[in-house]
């Protein structure tokens, strides 16, 4: 177990995890003695204490405090930012962690001021919990929370994020797209049609073509395991065609998706929505539902029906069905703006980057990050695409074997696409050599 030289009244957490880190100065020094356990650390100079534990070990009081913080700001409204998602990920990943920062109150007690669910890597880098399913992530904290100092207190060198709300750098700002239907769905759809008349006229025409060929279109919630498996198979086929990282391969992802599908709890569980033409399954979404909020992870369509643009036809009918399904918010998340923007009238801003801890550990991590930036990791060239792909693999695969397989696949895909591009160049001198798979793999 790992012990600390600093005295602490907090109990030592007994949950064993995978991975290893070393606490950097200032503060107590972690010492290794067999398997690693997590304890608590007091950074008195920050008037803050940090407990790090497995999500399943959260007390009921801490869970309620976390939910209260989520309810304090619309920015934290996504169910992906609350304790229930962290606990669910923890059921399938032993390396899931939550750091809780506490500050003293006037009566001598303590209050939680921030929660950060994450996975920890060598060197003290924290990655978003449950990536790549954690489309929104980051600290859920009181206003004015100093993350740099807090990371140092928790023994972390940096926090890497791709879709975090309220953290710099603002230069990497992008949008998470929302479909919010507060009134009749027909009114919302009519607003969309007026804004994008050509697109919606075309998709209505394609939808009518599906109806004439296969039968009436209908959207319905689905509990059939065969349909669930079909959507996942279609998604795997799409990932293979595009050379994208197969985020469905890790065993924990399959376990989490299957578990949520089996639960199907409207308060917090999986929801599969299918589009049918007659008796034929055309397309579907599967994701997390929490009350009237739906966040789909899997968007799949029948590849044999691609000429009918089934993904667009699905969304038009899914919006129409939202009131009947008990949904107010259909959160499409960030990325793939080319089609999500068509159906969204509102969005939330998210940022990507690295937030470094105060102190020596953060400085070391910043230096390493700057070396990657100088090599082109932030650019659109091959180094940038490769770096982003490797980051996705590192965040998604908890095992060394899984990461090695992901790295090998990346090299093979890059070589294949470069060879293909070179062949085109010989026959088409003006071709642009931009070959390596995108790391953004899920939607679309």
CATH number for the domain spanning 305: value is: 3.40.630
Let me know whether 93 and 157 are in one domain. Answer: yes
Q: Does residue 369 sit within a domain?
A: no
Of the segments 167-176, 205-214, 419-428, which one has the largest average pLDDT value? Answer: 205-214
Under 8 Å CB-to-CB from 95, ≥6 apart: which residues?
17, 18, 19, 119, 120, 398
% of the chain with per-residue pLDDT over 70 = 77
| Residue 377 confidence class, pLDDT cut points 50, 70, 90 | low
Report the domain count for the chain: 3
Whole-number pLDDT of residue 404:
75
Spatial separation of the C-alpha atoms in residues 439 and 243, rounded to whole Å: 10
Could you tell me if 37 and 108 lie in one domain?
yes
More confident residue, 397 or 161: 161
Q: DSSP characters for 59-94? A: -HHHHHHHHHHHHT-GGG-SGGGSHHHHHHHHTT-T
Same domain flag for 321 and 389: no
Q: What is the pLDDT of residues 31-47, one digit of tens each?
A: 222 222 333 444 434 48
- pLDDT per residue as tens digits for the range 382-432: 666 776 677 777 777 777 777 777 667 766 666 666 555 555 544 333 322
Is residue 224's pLDDT more than 60?
yes
| Residues 79 and 226 occupy one common structural domain | no
Domain extent at residue 163? 3-172
Quick check: is 363 in a domain?
Answer: no
Measured CA to CA, the distance from residue 147 to residue 356 in angstroms comes to 8
Give yes or no: residues 255 and 191 share one domain: yes
Whether residues 238 and 158 share a domain: the answer is: no
Where is the domain boundary, 150, 172, 194?
A: 172
195 shares a domain with 161: no
Domain membership of residue 434 (yes or no) is yes
Predicted local distance difference test score (pLDDT) of residue 66:
98
Structure-model confidence comparison of residues 395 and 55, the more confident one: 55
Q: What is the pLDDT of residue 72?
A: 93
Q: 32 in helix, strand or coil?
A: coil
Per DSSP, 278 falls in state T
Same domain, 157 and 213: no
User: Does any domain span residue 134?
Assistant: yes
- Of 306, 327, 348, the domain-final residue: 327
pLDDT value of position 169: 64
Q: Let me know if residue 73 belongs to a domain.
A: yes
- The pTM of this model reads 0.81
Residue 258 confidence (pLDDT) above 90: yes
In a domain, 177, yes or no: no
400 shares a domain with 272: no
- 8 lies in the same domain as 94: yes
Longest dimension (CA), the chain: 77
Is position 374 within any domain?
Answer: no
Instruction: Determine, yes or no, domain membership for 335.
Output: no
More confident position, 47 or 193: 193
| Lowest mean per-residue pLDDT among 69-78, 132-141, 405-414 | 405-414
Same domain, 163 and 197: no
Q: What's residue 338's pLDDT?
A: 87
* SS3 state at 361: helix
Is the pLDDT at 61 greater than 70? The verdict is yes
- Identify whether residues 194 and 168 lie together within a single domain: no
Which range has the worst mean pLDDT, 12-21, 285-294, 418-427? Answer: 12-21
- Mean pLDDT in residue range 6-25: 31
């Amino acid at each position: 177990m790992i012990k600390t030289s600093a005295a602490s009244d907090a109990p030592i957490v007994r949950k064993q995890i995978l991975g290893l880190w070393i606490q950097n100065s200032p503060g107590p020094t972690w010492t290794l003695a067999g398997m690693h356990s997590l304890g608590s650390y007091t950074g008195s100079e920050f008037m803050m204490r940090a407990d790090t534990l497995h999500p399943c070990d959260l007390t009921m009081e801490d869970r309620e405090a976390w939910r209260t913080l989520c309810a304090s700001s619309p920015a934290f409204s996504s169910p992906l930012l609350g304790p229930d998602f962290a606990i669910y990920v923890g059921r399938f990943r032993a390396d899931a962690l939550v750091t809780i920062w506490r500050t003293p109150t006037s009566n001598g007690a303590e209050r939680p001021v921030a929660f950060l669910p994450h996975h920890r890597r060598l060197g003290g880098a924290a990655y978003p919990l449950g990536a790549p399913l954690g489309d929104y992530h980051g600290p859920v904290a009181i206003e004015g929370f100093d993350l740099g100092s807090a990371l140092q207190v928790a023994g972390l060198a940096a926090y890497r994020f791709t879709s975090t709300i309220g953290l710099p750098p603002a230069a990497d700002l992008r949008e998470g797209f929302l479909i919010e239907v507060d009134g009749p769905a027909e009114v919302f759809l009519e607003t969309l049609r007026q804004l994008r008349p050509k697109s919606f006229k075309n998709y209505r025409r394609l939808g009518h073509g599906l109806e004439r060929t296969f039968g009436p279109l209908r959207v319905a919630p689905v509990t059939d395991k065969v349909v669930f498996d079909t959507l996942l198979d279609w998604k795997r086929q799409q990932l293979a065609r595009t050379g994208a990282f197969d985020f469905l391969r890790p065993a924990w992802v399959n376990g989490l998706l299957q578990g949520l599908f089996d639960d199907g709890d409207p308060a917090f569980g999986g929801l599969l929505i299918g589009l049918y033409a007659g008796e034929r399954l055309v397309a579907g979404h599967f994701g997390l539902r929490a009350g009237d909020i739906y966040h789909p992870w899997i968007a799949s369509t029948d590849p044999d029906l691609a000429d009918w643009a089934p993904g667009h036809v699905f969304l038009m009918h899914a919006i129409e069905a939202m009131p009947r399904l008990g949904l107010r918010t259909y959160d499409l998340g960030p990325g793939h703006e080319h089609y999500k923007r068509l159906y969204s009238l509102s969005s939330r801003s998210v940022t990507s980057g690295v937030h470094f801890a105060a102190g020596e550990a953060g400085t070391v991590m910043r230096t390493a990050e700057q070396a990657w930036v100088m090599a082109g990791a932030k650019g659109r060239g091959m180094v940038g695409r490769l770096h982003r792909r490797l980051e996705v693999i590192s965040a998604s695969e908890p095992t060394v074997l899984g990461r090695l397989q992901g790295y090998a696949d990346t090299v093979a895909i890059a070589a294949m696409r470069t060879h293909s591009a070179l062949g085109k160049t010989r026959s088409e001198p003006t071709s642009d050599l931009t070959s390596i798979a995108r790391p953004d793999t899920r939607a679309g």
